[in-house]
Amino acid sequence: MSPSTALSYSQQALWFIYREAPKSAAYNMALPLWFAEDVDGQLLQQAVQRLVERHSMLRSRFAELDGVPYQQVVTD
């Protein structure tokens, strides 16, 4: 794990909303995908893995310590 980072103002606002309604899906985004042809599952998995490797936000976790939220990028 990387060192922890303070949340931005926008992230803090979303964290507060989450704390008030943790089961709400209001800020979740679902994206169904339909493919016109058969997809090689292994190639799709590799493509998603590369996307995650390139974008640290997709490897980020949010936690709280002593009531203060923070962000960490998972490096494993």
The pTM score is 0.71
Q: 59, 1 in Cβ contact below 8 A?
A: no
Closest Cα to residue 35, out of 46, 27, 43? 43
Domain that holds residue 7: 1-24+41-76
Q: Enter the DSSP assignment of 66.
A: T
- What pLDDT, in 10s, does the model give residues 14-52? 999 999 999 999 888 899 999 999 999 999 999 999 999
Cα 44 from Cα 52, distance rounded (Å): 12
Q: In the predicted model, is pLDDT for residue 10 greater than 90?
A: yes
pLDDT at position 16 is 93
Instruction: Kindly indicate the confidence band of residue 76, based on its pLDDT and cuts at 50, 70 and 90.
Output: confident
pLDDT at position 21 is 95
Domain count, the chain: 1
Residue 35 within a domain: no
Residue 29 within a domain: no
Residue 64 within a domain: yes
Mean pLDDT of 42-71: 95
Residue 31 within a domain: no
Residue 30 within a domain: no
